[in-house]
Amino acid sequence: MPIALERRFNHEHIREFSDGEIIFKEGDEDRDLFIIQEGAVEIRKTTIEGEIILAELLRGDFFGDMALLQNIPRFASAYSKGKTKVLVLHPGGFLLKIRRDPTFAFEMLQQLSSRVKVSSEKFLEAVQSGKMSSEMAEDILNTSSVAK
């Protein structure tokens, strides 16, 4: 079971996880944002064909942003890879962190932009390789907020 190693402020603390431990599960309702201090994290999504790995994140990367920013249940699950230490930032502390460290907001926007770019490249690759039909791609783009 993860333990709080260090409390920094009321809205954030450090937690440590051992290899393969679940940090949060798809569908969970919590809104915490996590920043990797040591180790790595694997983000996994359950599909009808089984579980797939969406991303492997390393020191300095953050995750949990979708639940925090969109106020929605967790889209995927997060698991530690090896011994992992994360900074847990509670929702109330998110704006305080941005106010204390404006570069944090800029770095977060850079990472989010990079994730959109990578996802778009993978999407186009799937269409171009025939793994996804152009009609299916159009349907996805017409229902996404990116296309609006």
Q: Over 60: is that where the pLDDT of 59 sits?
A: yes
Phi and psi at 110, nearest 5°, equal -60, -45
Please check whether residues 92 and 106 belong to one and the same domain.
no
- Between residues 23 and 10, which one has the greater pLDDT? 23
Does the global pTM surpass 0.85? no
d(CA 17, CA 40): 10
Last residue of a domain, one of 83, 99, 115: 99
Please check whether residues 88 and 122 belong to one and the same domain.
no
Contact yes or no for 35/86 (Cβ under 8 A): yes
Which amino acid is residue 104, in one-letter code? Answer: F
Please report, for residues 4, 34, 117, 119, 141, the alpha-carbon distance to residue 146 in angstroms, rounded to integers and kept in the order given: 38, 25, 12, 12, 7
d(CA 73, CA 29): 5
Confidence at 79, pLDDT banded by 50, 70, 90: very high
Please check whether residues 3 and 66 belong to one and the same domain.
yes
Please check whether residues 90 and 22 belong to one and the same domain.
yes
Domain span including residue 141: 101-148
Contact yes or no for 62/36 (Cβ under 8 A): yes
Contact yes or no for 24/44 (Cβ under 8 A): no
Please check whether residues 132 and 77 belong to one and the same domain.
no
Please check whether residues 70 and 143 belong to one and the same domain.
no
Please check whether residues 33 and 73 belong to one and the same domain.
yes
Domains in the chain: how many in total? 2
Please check whether residues 132 and 94 belong to one and the same domain.
no
Name the 3-class secondary structure at 2: coil
Orientation angle between helical segments 102-128 and 91-100, nearest 10 degrees: 110
Please check whether residues 3 and 19 belong to one and the same domain.
yes
Please check whether residues 28 and 75 belong to one and the same domain.
yes
Confidence at 95, pLDDT banded by 50, 70, 90: confident
Which amino acid is residue 148, in one-letter code? Answer: K
Confidence at 125, pLDDT banded by 50, 70, 90: confident
Q: CATH number, domain at 57?
A: 2.60.120.10
